[in-house]
Amino acid sequence: MLSGKRILLIIGGGIAAYKSLELIRRLRDLGAVVTPVMTPSAEQFVTPLSVAALAGETVHRELFDLTSEAEMGHIQLSRVADLVLVAPATADLMAKMVQGLAGDLASTLLLATDTPVMIVPAMNVRMWQHPATQRNLAQLLADGVQVVGPDEGAMACGEFGPGRFAEVPDVVDAVRSALTGGPLAGRRVLVTSGPTHEPIDPVRYIANRSSGAQGTAIAEALRALGADVVFVTGPAEVARPEGVEVIEVVTATQMRAAVLGALPVDAGVFAAAVADWRVASASDSKIKKQNGQLPVLEFAENPDILAEVSRLPEGRPGLVVGFAAETDDVVAHATAKRVRKGCDWIVANDVSPATGIMGGSENAVVLISENGSEAWPRMGKREVARRLALRIAAALGAG
């Protein structure tokens, strides 16, 4: 799939440098030629010997290396590649890229290149969240650099949060898309995500529990396969995905309008936990306590966005994928829900508190279609997203 493609891999100095070894293998499995460059600090984490052995290529390490200069100058090195991949990209390398510094081989190559650049940031969570790094990230995106990850989770340094090196298969997908356009290139896919908040008054609301993690991962996985993604999200906890069109909404009514406005699309994935009801007449001012007299809320039913889109007489997406969060008889309920809502597939999961799925990083889903049900093993939400994205690509005839 990547045969004949040349990737210049710049390995930065961080604990995640060891993941670049796996990355080299996977890229070579697909037929890519990987030319490795290591910063001096990368060599503190993995040895040039390991990198060279896996890449089957010489490791470039020095800016002033007369042999290399005679054979292939560093300018040329950065130009013959189809993609410059920085993995892991440290905070230091990102800052150098933003400043246009060229004091060592890695930064010189990055400044000298006119080839597309992709970075896979990995660093301590505080370093990632520092305003300086976030400023640099914004500048790199504005400069057209493609950014994959970072993931969120437990880190080698013992802290928890965003900063982990993205999963290697996700990086490989992103590289594939960058180099080949990806199986979903030219396809437009809609994803709804997160909860909706239905106001009671200006300070109170009712909502469903949803972190938005699964919907966000799906948007990223579709993007990694080259799709143009429209991401309609309620007030979710997790960071918004990069490289997609984000439409922020609060209520179900707003989500419906945003979804209908985003059509036509080739496929729609409805991962949002939409509130089924809204307060019939939300108060414009804060409801005050009244001598022990309790307020009574009246509800009105929200529009079922999934059912409406599934039954559109015109402009129905070629593939409509719903979600079903159930606490018992998961497959039976979800199978009935698929028919009732008129969607093509339902991704069903058991959200009983004991499963730890809601708000957690893993998911165990059953994919239900007209052909029956298929239980997937418990896996990370990103892996669920990746598999689902590949299935969507296959269903659209693009796999």
* Interface pick for ligand CTP out of 78, 136, 216, 302 (rule CB under 6 A): 302
Interaction with ligand CTP in 304-333: which residues (CB under 6 A)?
A: 304-306, 322-325
Q: Which residue has the tokens 């920085």?
A: 86
| CA angle (13, 7, 174) in 5-degree steps | 85
How many angstroms separate the CA atoms of 88 and 121, rounded? 6
- Our CB check for ligand CTP shows the closer of 165 and 323 to be 323
Q: Which of 16, 91, 109, 252 binds ligand CTP (CB under 6 A)?
A: 252
Stretch that binds ligand CTP, among 58-66, 70-78, 165-173, 302-310 (CB under 6 A): 302-310
Distance (Å, rounded) from C-alpha 101 to C-alpha 274?
A: 48
Closer Cβ to ligand CTP, 17 or 272, answer by number: 272
Instruction: Give the integer Cα–Cα distance in Å for 21 and 50.
Output: 8
Separation between Cα atoms, residue 353 and residue 213, nearest integer Å = 17
Q: Considering 154, 157, 332, 394, which one is annotated as catalytic?
A: 157
Question: Annotation-wise, does 305 bind a ligand?
Answer: yes
Nearer to ligand CTP, 36 or 322 (CB): 322
Q: What are the CA-CA distances from residue 121 to residues 15, 82, 164, 224, 370 (Å)?
A: 12, 20, 8, 16, 41
Peptide bond into 88 cis (omega under 30): yes
Q: Which region among 90-98, 157-165, 271-279, 289-297 touches ligand CTP (by CB under 6 A)?
A: 271-279
150 vs 317 by CB, closer to ligand CTP? 317
**Per-residue three-class SS string for 178-229:** HHHCCCCCCCEEEEEECECEEEEECCEEEECCCCCHHHHHHHHHHHHCCCEE
Secondary structure of 44-65 in HEC code, one letter for each residue: HCCCHHHHHHHHCCCCECCCCC
Say if residue 173 carries a ligand binding annotation: no
Question: Least distance from C-beta 359 to ligand CTP, angstroms?
Answer: 17
**Catalytic: 157?**
yes
DSSP letter for 354, please: G
CB of 299 to ligand CTP, least distance (A): 13
Phi, psi of 254 (to 5 degrees): -65, -40
Buried b or exposed e, range 213-247, using 16+ CB within 10 angstroms: bbbbbbbbbbbbbbbbbbbbbbbbebeebebbeeb
Q: Does position 274 bind ligand CTP by CB under 6 A?
A: yes
For the CB of residue 256, give the shortest distance to ligand CTP in the complex, in Å: 8
276 assigned binding-site residue: yes
Residue 172 binds ligand CTP (CB under 6 A): no
# residues contacting ligand CTP (CB under 6 A): 15
> From the list 14, 270, 349, 367, which residue makes contact with ligand CTP (rule: CB under 6 A)?
270
159 near ligand CTP, judged by CB under 6 A: no
Spatial contact of 177 and 224, defined as CB atoms under 8 Å apart: yes
Was 341 annotated as part of a binding site? Answer: yes
**In the complex with ligand CTP, which residue's Cβ is closer, 337 or 386?**
337
What is the smallest separation between the CB atom of 358 and ligand CTP, expressed in angstroms? 12
The residues in 332-361 that bind ligand CTP, with binding defined as CB under 6 A, are 337
Angle made by CA atoms 377, 379, 383, in degrees to the nearest 5? 115
Which of 324, 385 has the CB closer to ligand CTP? 324
Is the Cβ of residue 164 or residue 337 nearer to ligand CTP in the bound state? 337
For CA atoms 78, 84, 90, 95, the dihedral sign is positive
CB of 170 vs ligand CTP, minimal distance in Å: 24
Residue 183, annotated as binding a ligand: no
d(CA 89, CA 107): 11
Minimum CB distance to ligand CTP, residue 269 (Å): 8
Q: Is 45 annotated as a binding residue?
A: no
Q: Which residues bind ligand CTP (CB under 6 A)?
A: 192, 252, 270, 272, 274, 276, 302, 304-306, 322-325, 337
Please list the active-site residues.
Answer: 157
Instruction: Indicate the annotated binding residues.
Output: 276, 286, 303-306, 323, 337, 341
Instruction: Indicate the annotated binding residues for CTP.
Output: 276, 286, 303-306, 323, 337, 341
